[in-house]
Amino acid sequence: MTDRVVLAYSGGLDTSVAIGWIAEETGAEVVAVAVDVGQGGEDLDTIRKRALACGAAEAVVVDARDEFAEQYCLPALQANALYQDRYPLVSALSRPVIVRHLVDAARAHGATTVSHGCTGKGNDQVRFEVGIGALAPELRVIAPVRDFAWTREKAIAWAEDRDLPIDVSKRSPFSVDQNVWGRAVETGFLEDIWNAPTEDVYSYTSNPADPRDPDELVITFDCGVPVAIDGETVTVLQAIRELNRRAGAQGVGRLDLVEDRLVGIKSREIYEAPGALALITAHQELENVTVERDLARFKRTAEQRWTELVYDGLWFSPLKDALDAFIAHTQAHVTGEVRLVLHAGRAVVNGRRSEQSLYDFNLATYDEGDTFDQSLAKGFVQLWGLPSKIAARRAAKL
């Protein structure tokens, strides 16, 4: 039986060329697997036909949009996941769902090897290969772009020599990766970190400086899950899409970040994540209302570690699984409504309410009806500061 290689297929130049290259170099049949995580662009059937035309023995297309939203984006939302306190893990979240479908396809089609089109400089090679190793350690991995130093020029020449059905006449100055959670743009003139991004860099967001009226909306959460917008019931995918549309129209979600890559280099990235950042803003504020203080403080530590694990390609790891359980537990009371104003590139909370709120008006008010016993405060302050006071006395003696 002829060996088979499962290829993570995007429909672009590199992975289209990889189909024939892998077949020629290894003698194996290639099964191309394309996974829709809401990246837009060409429809899956077009991508499937191109894979077959480029020489794939079989082409598998997977509509994973709801799966991606519910099983990957939602945990990131509940973890308030922002790498370096800013980046909502746009690319990092999509890789494990693609990995899972690559492994499923490898087992279904009897493949011994999985291939991807990542370079040696990026994080994605780690996310793919570590994920595959965790789910199917018996599978081999090959990475033609990385391991054989492909250049775009070599790939174009290879495609032209074999009359592959790929349009290589137009080249974007940028490298773009996108899904429903957001969009990442790099390379080109952006590699000079002094250069400001131009408007043609952006696609998910309008210019926040353009004059427009504010957009006010109410997001309803049930145990940390967005379930309605302005009273209209939504799925997680629908919530993200609707906020991509409305927050994006207000210029919300643009990021210009020099980030620390896992491989040890710094990289300048432009991100657009209007829906993700609007949802995280609302979710964080509802947690402020409903999550007890010490639990909230510890959760922030867990959130940072969860985010780092996902960024570093360790979605399928024991620590990540354990943190998932902890974060899920913290969402038991994150139920209520948050009112957001979207305007001029910002998402600002101006109202929140919950039947499970820990906010007590009568304890918080300074007006009539105050039920807080201020007579208890003096002794509390003295006892709270006593260890520091004793240490200060010792320091003074020494």
Q: Catalytic residue positions?
A: 14, 95, 124, 175
Is 3 annotated to bind a ligand? Reply is: no
183 annotated as a binding-site residue: no
Is 267 marked as a binding-site residue? no
Q: Is 316 exposed, middle or buried (0-12, 13-18, 19+ CB in 10 A)?
A: middle
**Is 241 a known ligand-binding residue?**
no
| Residue 195 annotated as binding site | no
Neighbouring CB atoms inside 10 A of 148's CB total 11
Q: For residue 94, give the amino acid letter.
A: S
247 in helix, strand or coil? helix
Q: Is 354 annotated as a binding residue?
A: no
SS3 percent helix, strand, coil of the chain, rounded to 5, is 45, 20, 35
Instruction: Answer for the pair 216, 340: CB distance below 8 angstroms, yes or no.
Output: yes
- Count of other CB atoms within 10 angstroms of residue 10: 22
Q: Is 259 annotated as a binding residue?
A: yes
3 state DSSP class of 106: helix
110 is in an annotated binding site: no
Give whole-number Cα distances, 297 to 301, 326, 354, in Å: 7, 13, 20
Residue 115 assigned ligand-binding role: no
For residue 359, give every residue at least 6 positions away whose Cβ sits within 8 Å of its Cβ, in sequence order, or none: 289
Asked whether residue 271 is marked as a ligand-binding residue, the answer is yes
83 is in an annotated binding site: no
- Mapping DSSP to helix (H, G, I), strand (E, B) and coil, where does residue 9 land? coil
Dihedral (CA of 17, 21, 24, 28) sign? negative
DSSP tag of 397: H
Q: Is 202 annotated as a binding residue?
A: no
367 carries a ligand binding annotation? no
Q: Do 14 and 149 form a contact (C-beta atoms < 8 A)?
A: no
Q: Is 369 annotated as a binding residue?
A: no
What strands lie across the sheet with 4-8, from one edge to the other? 58-63, 29-36, 4-8, 113-115, 140-142
Q: Known binder of ligand: residue 58?
A: no
Binding-site entries for ATP? 8-16, 117
List, as residue ranges, the binding site for L-citrulline. 87, 123, 127, 175, 259, 271
Which residue ranges make up the annotated binding site? 8-16, 87, 117, 119, 123-124, 127, 175, 259, 271
